[in-house]
Amino acid sequence: MSENDANKPQGRKPTLPPGAAKPTLPPGAGKKPTLPPGAGKAPTLPPGMKKPGGPAMPPGMPPAGPGGDGAPSRADFASDQDVRWCPGCGDYAILATVQRLMPELGVPRENVVFISGIGCSSRFPYYMNTYGMHSIHGRAPTIATGIKTSRPDLDVWMITGDGDSLSIGGNHIIHIMRRNVDLQIIMFNNQIYGLTKGQYSPTSEVGKITKSTPFGSIDHPFNPIALVLGADASFAARTMDRDPKHMKEILRQAHDFNGTGFVEVYQNCNIFNDGAFFSFTEKATKSDKAIFFEHGQPLVYADGKKGLRLNGFHLEAIDLEGGNWGVDDCLVYDETSLELATILARVYWHDELPQPFGVFYRQARPTYDEQVGRQVQAVIERSGKGSLADLLAEGDTWVVG
Amino acid sequence: MGSKTVETLPEATVLFAGDSGDGMQLTGTQFTLATAYAMNDLATLPDFPAEIRAPVGTRYGVSGFQLHFGSVDIRTPGDDVDLLIAMNPAALVVNLDRVRPGGTILVNSNSFEAKDLNLANLDSNPLEDGSLDKYRVIQVELTRLTRETLKDSDLNQKQIDRSKNMFALGLSLWLYSRPVEPAEQWIRSKFAKKPEIRDANLELLKKGYHFGETTEMFVTRYEVTPATLPPGRYRAVQGVQAMAMGFVAAADKSGIPITYGSYPITPASDILHALSRYKNHGIMTIQAEDEIAAIGMAIGASFGGCLGITGTSGPGVALKGEAMGLAHITELPLVIVNVQRGGPSTGLPTKTEQSDLMQAYYGRNGDAPMPIIAASTPGDCFEVAYEACRIAVKYMTPVVLLSDGYLANGSEPWLIPDPDSLADFEVQYATEPNVEVDGEKVFHGYVRDPQTLARPWAKPGTPGLEHRIGGLEKKDGTGNVSYDAHNHELMIRLRAEKVKRVQQDMAPLEIFGDEDAELLIVGWGSTRGAIEAGVTRARNAGLKVASVHLRWVCPLPADLGKVLSGFSKFLVPELNNGQLVRILRDEFLLPFEAMNKIQGRPFGPSEIARKIEDMLG
């Protein structure tokens, strides 16, 4: 019996395969979407930015439309609005990844809704040719909860940043997690306030010198994955802007998960916090400083040269080449274990251990929207559809005249 | 009915007062029910402390329930109390100034011991020191009689003492010749599973009733004959119930599901409680994590094509301000209910006040007007709830609905409306692109209806109408983000003009009283009953006076200027430090005189009548 098994609580439900519990597609699924309004206007891009959907087209040409098989393409999900992030911003990679993923999900464009708060990341909905709302600072979870609960047929995505969701919106992020509303949250974490021009954020490291902390910040930072696990998240994952392949896969899994799919994306702010995550994202250090883990696989990194083993409640790095340790000694990750998720989430900016990227925790439980709907149905089944006339005349009444 | 004389009264006001644990609200509610059965017109005013169980016997722990009933038109809970039932010295002294000289005070004489007087901060016993000389005082040993009645019951001393309100209820039902059956029925169903408590309460109710008949303290009992109300089926209704039913009616008639987002707050929580029972009526309720979340959820629901409503009280509206601005700029239908209470800050949570008209008008960043509708009676809460929803959807705008603690908890007989008689409530969602650009049909989210200036409501899930909205300034027509200087000015003006056009949907103002009078009283909200009763009294005394009551406070009705032009003196009574009066002065530059009461209590008709006499005398 490995230490992993010893820590694993008995009676856990097996992992759901991605998409298993997802409701069937709403009516109209697979219908060929019409072209976006204003399609044909060539968006201008900041210098150095690649146009989403491939090479720039001559003005007047519609963007790359549905493919030969009639399926929607990436360009179908790009709005006609100019993308206004700073050149070189990590947000571009996230937008491009989401636009690439969308056609693969098979959800009709008209059923997709993006809800955001305030901040650089929260401009995102303007660039998606879906339904969307750019709301107010910190409150996207409330609006997303309202729309998903009243319209469970819609595919709702929430876009937020570290300041938006962990500072001004801290209350709402924990409550959407505990409710487990069936939607996806993409949290762009750049560890800085960008739109207000460079103050430290609730994820900035202690000692951060910014405009508002000329002598260094003294606030202890949040660990977002640990925070949402503490709020009983049912799906928590981390990925990075510089690995679009990994990001796309994680986002797909968050989407296919039936519940709140929380994804923290490390996103470089090249203006106010350039290189914050370079040790995890850049070639020279990535293999040593980052570990990409998967359910059912041993925790191995550094191109197979190193691994992580569980020693009591702690993870320790082991050298797989020295002859003392082998892959069999590494912890085989189990994403349904809240205990393991908690241990792995606490490997955070660790001096000796690599930063983990992947799905920390996935445990399906009934979603809020589904339960609300079920309760309404149960009342209707028990009491019948309410009659207004009966309701108005309820209780003690008397007749005059 | 024994050997007592029966005197017939046109109307009477009774006030039950005791500790917050004495069951005075329940006693008042049951007396109200019996009064409804006796077919009197009525109005009630529950008045309770913010503490759930304040220390026993203290002045600040006093809970009261006032009821005004009669065979005549009853417009207020009454300003002069005819009968005060005081369970202890604190309840007596706190309410004494409300009893008319010559009125009756019934006290529980067992609760006037030294320790009780001490708790009520009294140096001498009011039953002995002459301070009650101008009243008729009836001393009943409520505690002793209750204990004696239940001496064979299995209840413990505490349970027995807590039941004495039933003795008091029985006695007051006898005194005003009310039927005892409604209370008996209520006790039977309420305590069906606790037979010993049920039997004790029934016994006490009966003993109290019989005590009136046999005791020699009362030589007279009273009778109030049925009121001449318009014919139809009636029920007693509280403002909160009426409002909840108004929202159900809106969901029913429009076919749009309603999502009600709310965070518990006094005195608005009862709307949430009521609506959460109406799940089979197209109502979904969410108890949110805070006030901001509550409105955010409602906005999300409205974006999804449902109708979002959020309900709260003044402090909650303060927190919702930014989101109200979002609903204004995104031009989504939304209803924000404010059951006003005494402010500022936490203020007087359980007391009534017309505290937040200025907040509703101006309490947001930027120029963000929204229609404001105010209920005037408990039953009127039904109609304004329905109307607020209808206007929110028709004009694609957030609407503020103002109620207050008095309307929410007060009750009156309510002529049950016929659902078919309600105004039409049809909803048109956008179904196809509305603009042609370069030969291509596209959807623009801010193309307006020429009559209402409403933008189209395109539900997510509708192919081809994908669009984005948000809190950044919108380009006229397309709805895209725009920082253009002239567009911003245009949009500010367009949104304000749209709100102004709600005037199209207002019924003409009605003048109450003498159209040829010099003096016009302008009121809004829950003061309607007191103002019109005061006007009636003044006119009966030979004075010429008129009043006009505003249901829509923003925008002001289009015909208000014309109405005002027929008068030369103006009085604006408000339960605040002067809010509508400033708006009227600003709008019309006429000499509006303010009349303000800021005591957490409604106006009484006599206060209004006196003021009229002062102005015309």
Domain shared by A193 and A276, yes or no: yes
Domain with A305, as residue range(s), is 299-332
Domain shared by A217 and A323, yes or no: no
Looking at the predicted structure, is the pLDDT value of residue B244 above 80?
Answer: yes
Write out the two tokens for B569: 């003196």
Chain mean pLDDT for chain A:
87
Sort out which chain A residues have CB atoms less than 8 A from B244's CB and list them.
none
- Please indicate whether, in this complex, the C-beta atoms of A372 and B443 are within 8 angstroms of each other: no
pLDDT digits (tens, 9 = 90+) for B12-66: 999 999 998 899 999 999 999 999 989 899 999 998 888 877 888 999 999 999 9
Question: What is the reported pLDDT for B2?
Answer: 52
Residue A394, chain B, CB below 8 Å: the answer is yes
Between B301, B444, B462, which is nearest A146 by CB?
B301
Query: Dmax of chain B from CA atoms?
Result: 95
pLDDT digits (tens, 9 = 90+) for B363-407: 999 999 999 999 999 999 999 999 999 999 999 999 999 999 999
Looking at the predicted structure, is the pLDDT value of residue A197 above 90?
Answer: yes
The size of chain B, in residues, is 617
CATH code of A84's domain: 3.40.50.970
Topology adopted by domain B235-421: Rossmann fold (3.40.50)
Residue A264: C-alpha distances to residues A159, A189, A281, A313, A357 (Å): 10, 7, 14, 24, 10
B148 Cβ neighbours under 8 A, 6+ residues apart:
none
Residue A6, chain B, CB below 8 Å: the answer is no
- Type of residue numbered A140: A
- Please indicate whether, in this complex, the C-beta atoms of B463 and A386 are within 8 angstroms of each other: no
Question: What is the reported pLDDT for B380?
Answer: 98
Instruction: Enumerate residues 91 to 120 of chain A having a beta carbon within 8 A of any beta carbon in chain B.
Output: 108-111, 113-115, 118
- Please indicate whether, in this complex, the C-beta atoms of A154 and B468 are within 8 angstroms of each other: no
Number of domains in chain A: 2
**Mean pLDDT of the B173-179 span:** 95
Instruction: Identify the closest residue of chain B to A114 by CA–CA distance.
Output: B468
Cβ contact B348:B500 at 8 Å: no
- Type of residue numbered A289: K
Instruction: Identify the closest residue of chain A to B325 by CA–CA distance.
Output: A136
* Cβ pairs A/B, distance under 8 A: 232
Looking at the predicted structure, is the pLDDT value of residue A51 above 90?
Answer: no
- Please indicate whether, in this complex, the C-beta atoms of A398 and B463 are within 8 angstroms of each other: no
Cβ contact B572:B549 at 8 Å: no
Looking at the predicted structure, is the pLDDT value of residue A68 above 80?
Answer: no
Cβ contact B33:B186 at 8 Å: yes
**Mean pLDDT of the B169-178 span:** 96
pLDDT digits (tens, 9 = 90+) for B132-149: 999 999 999 999 999 999
Residue A393, chain B, CB below 8 Å: the answer is yes
Question: What is the reported pLDDT for B33?
Answer: 92
- Please indicate whether, in this complex, the C-beta atoms of B417 and A392 are within 8 angstroms of each other: yes
Residue A149, chain B, CB below 8 Å: the answer is yes
Reduced 3-state DSSP string for chain A: CCHHHHHCCCCCCCCCCCCCCCCCCCCCCCCCCCCCCCCCCCCCCCCCCCCCCCCCCCCCCCCCCCCCCCCCCHHHHECCCCCCCCCCCCHHHHHHHHHHHHHHHCCCHHHEEEEECCCCHHHHHHHECCEEEECCCCCHHHHHHHHHHHCCCCEEEEEEEHHHHHHHCHHHHHHHHHHCCCCEEEEEECCEECCCCCEECCCCCCCCCECCECCCCCCCCCCHHHHHHHCCCCEEEEEECCCHHHHHHHHHHHHHCCCCEEEEEECCECCCECCCCHHHHCHHHHHHHEEECCCCCECEECCCCEEEEEECCEEEEEECCCCCCCHHHCCECCCCCHHHHHHHHCCCCCCCCCEEEEEEEECCCCCHHHHHHHHHHHHHHHHCCCCHHHHHCCCCEEEEC
Instruction: Enumerate residues 174 to 193 of chain A having a beta carbon within 8 A of any beta carbon in chain B.
Output: 175
Sort out which chain B residues have CB atoms less than 8 A from A376's CB and list them.
279-280, 284
Cβ contact B479:B446 at 8 Å: yes
Write out the two tokens for B349: 């949570």
Sort out which chain A residues have CB atoms less than 8 A from B282's CB and list them.
386
Cβ contact B519:B471 at 8 Å: no
Question: What is the reported pLDDT for B52?
Answer: 79
Between A150, A396, A398, which is nearest B259 by CB?
A150
The answer to whether position A30 is within a domain reads no
Q: How far is B234 from chain A (nearest CA, A)?
A: 5
Question: What is the reported pLDDT for B234?
Answer: 93
**Mean pLDDT of the A277-286 span:** 97
Sequence ranges of the domains in chain B:
5-223, 235-421, 435-504, 512-616
Question: What is the reported pLDDT for A34?
Answer: 40
Residue B518 DSSP one-character state: S
- Please indicate whether, in this complex, the C-beta atoms of B464 and A372 are within 8 angstroms of each other: no
- Please indicate whether, in this complex, the C-beta atoms of B297 and A40 are within 8 angstroms of each other: no
Domain shared by A288 and A185, yes or no: yes
Residue A59, chain B, CB below 8 Å: the answer is no
Q: Which of A61-75, A228-242, B337-351 has the lowest mean pLDDT?
A: A61-75
pLDDT-based confidence at residue B3 (cuts at 50, 70, 90) = low
Q: Which of A392, A394, A397, A399 to mutate to test the interface with B (most CBs of B within 10 A)?
A: A392
Sort out which chain B residues have CB atoms less than 8 A from A379's CB and list them.
279-280
**Mean pLDDT of the A94-101 span:** 98
Sort out which chain A residues have CB atoms less than 8 A from B189's CB and list them.
none
pLDDT digits (tens, 9 = 90+) for A328-380: 999 999 999 999 999 999 999 999 999 999 999 999 999 999 999 999 999 99
Domain shared by A130 and A185, yes or no: yes
Q: In what order do the strands lie in the sheet with A314-319?
A: A300-301, A306-311, A314-319
A88 Cβ neighbours under 8 A, 6+ residues apart:
A48, A270
Q: Which residues lie across from A398 on neighbouring strands?
A: B234
The answer to whether position A68 is within a domain reads no
Q: What are phi and psi of B137, to 5 degrees?
A: -105, 130
Q: How far is B399 from chain A (nearest CA, A)?
A: 18
Cβ contact B122:B45 at 8 Å: no
The answer to whether position A240 is within a domain reads yes
Domain shared by A169 and A316, yes or no: no
Cβ contact B82:B88 at 8 Å: no
Q: Which of A80, A128, A150, A158 to mutate to test the interface with B (most CBs of B within 10 A)?
A: A150
The answer to whether position A22 is within a domain reads no
Residue A71, chain B, CB below 8 Å: the answer is no
**Percent of residues, chain B, with pLDDT higher than 70:** 100
- Please indicate whether, in this complex, the C-beta atoms of A111 and B461 are within 8 angstroms of each other: yes
Domain shared by A257 and A193, yes or no: yes
Sort out which chain A residues have CB atoms less than 8 A from B36's CB and list them.
396, 398
pLDDT-based confidence at residue A9 (cuts at 50, 70, 90) = very low
Instruction: Identify the closest residue of chain A to B233 by CA–CA distance.
Output: A399
Between B39, B304, B481, which is nearest A400 by CB?
B39
B5-223 and B512-616 agree in CATH topology:
no
Q: What is the DSSP pairing of strand B512-513 with strand B545-550?
A: antiparallel
Cβ contact B338:B373 at 8 Å: no
Instruction: Identify the closest residue of chain A to B242 by CA–CA distance.
Output: A392
Q: How far is B34 from chain A (nearest CA, A)?
A: 10
Looking at the predicted structure, is the pLDDT value of residue B129 above 60?
Answer: yes
Instruction: Identify the closest residue of chain B to A25 by CA–CA distance.
Output: B461
CA distance linking residue B75 with residue B13, whole number of Å: 12
Question: What is the reported pLDDT for A46?
Answer: 39
Q: Which of the pair, B30 or A62, is modelled with greater confidence?
A: B30
Looking at the predicted structure, is the pLDDT value of residue A279 above 60?
Answer: yes
Sort out which chain A residues have CB atoms less than 8 A from B469's CB and list them.
132-134
Looking at the predicted structure, is the pLDDT value of residue A27 above 50?
Answer: no
The size of chain A, in residues, is 401
Write out the two tokens for A169: 């919106």
Q: Which of B228-232, B273-277, B529-533 has the lowest mean pLDDT?
A: B228-232
Residue B236 three-state SS: strand
Sort out which chain B residues have CB atoms less than 8 A from A170's CB and list them.
none
Q: How far is A266 from chain B (nearest CA, A)?
A: 26
DSSP states along B354-419: -TTHHHHHH-SSSS----EEE--STTHHHHHHHHHHHHHHHTT-EEEEEEEHHHHH-EEEEEPPPG
Residue B168 three-state SS: helix
Domain shared by A176 and A313, yes or no: no
Q: Which CATH number fits domain B512-616: 2.60.120.10, 3.40.50.1820, 3.40.50.920, 3.30.300.90?
A: 3.40.50.920
CA distance linking residue A46 with residue A87, whole number of Å: 6
- Please indicate whether, in this complex, the C-beta atoms of A386 and B298 are within 8 angstroms of each other: no
Between A39, A131, A147, which is nearest B301 by CB?
A147
Q: Which of B466, B478, B482 to mutate to test the interface with A (most CBs of A within 10 A)?
A: B466
Domain shared by A304 and A159, yes or no: no
- Please indicate whether, in this complex, the C-beta atoms of B460 and A154 are within 8 angstroms of each other: yes
Instruction: Identify the closest residue of chain B to A60 by CA–CA distance.
Output: B438
Residue A352, chain B, CB below 8 Å: the answer is no
Looking at the predicted structure, is the pLDDT value of residue B113 above 50?
Answer: yes
Looking at the predicted structure, is the pLDDT value of residue A38 above 60?
Answer: no
**Percent of residues, chain A, with pLDDT higher than 90:** 80
Sort out which chain A residues have CB atoms less than 8 A from B412's CB and list them.
none
- Please indicate whether, in this complex, the C-beta atoms of B466 and A110 are within 8 angstroms of each other: yes
Q: How far is A172 from chain B (nearest CA, A)?
A: 7
Chain mean pLDDT for chain B:
95
| Other residues' Cβ atoms within 10 Å of the Cβ of residue B62 | 27
Q: How far is A368 from chain B (nearest CA, A)?
A: 10
Residue B563 three-state SS: helix
| B291-303 and A170-179 helices, crossing angle to 10° | 60
CA distance linking residue A83 with residue A98, whole number of Å: 14
Residue A55: C-alpha distances to residues A43, A51, A401, B418 (Å): 12, 6, 81, 64
Looking at the predicted structure, is the pLDDT value of residue A69 above 70?
Answer: no
- Could you identify the residue written with the tokens 């007007």? B369
pLDDT digits (tens, 9 = 90+) for B298-342: 999 999 999 999 999 999 999 999 999 999 999 999 999 999 999
pLDDT digits (tens, 9 = 90+) for B449-460: 999 999 999 999
Residue A33, chain B, CB below 8 Å: the answer is yes
Q: Which residues lie across from B18 on neighbouring strands?
A: B63
pLDDT-based confidence at residue A71 (cuts at 50, 70, 90) = confident
Instruction: Identify the closest residue of chain B to A376 by CA–CA distance.
Output: B279
- Could you identify the residue written with the tokens 């197209």? B282
Looking at the predicted structure, is the pLDDT value of residue A49 above 70?
Answer: no
- Please indicate whether, in this complex, the C-beta atoms of A134 and B472 are within 8 angstroms of each other: yes
Sort out which chain A residues have CB atoms less than 8 A from B230's CB and list them.
400-401
| Other residues' Cβ atoms within 10 Å of the Cβ of residue A279 | 16
- Please indicate whether, in this complex, the C-beta atoms of B234 and A397 are within 8 angstroms of each other: yes
Write out the two tokens for B201: 């309460």
pLDDT-based confidence at residue A39 (cuts at 50, 70, 90) = very low
- Could you identify the residue written with the tokens 């005819």? B82
CA distance linking residue A13 with residue A15, whole number of Å: 6
Q: What is the dihedral of CA B269, B275, B277, B280, to 10 degrees?
A: -170
- Please indicate whether, in this complex, the C-beta atoms of B470 and A134 are within 8 angstroms of each other: yes
A205 Cβ neighbours under 8 A, 6+ residues apart:
A191, A217, A221, A349
**Mean pLDDT of the B115-119 span:** 95
Superfamily of domain B5-223: Pyruvate-ferredoxin oxidoreductase, PFOR, domain III (3.40.920.10)
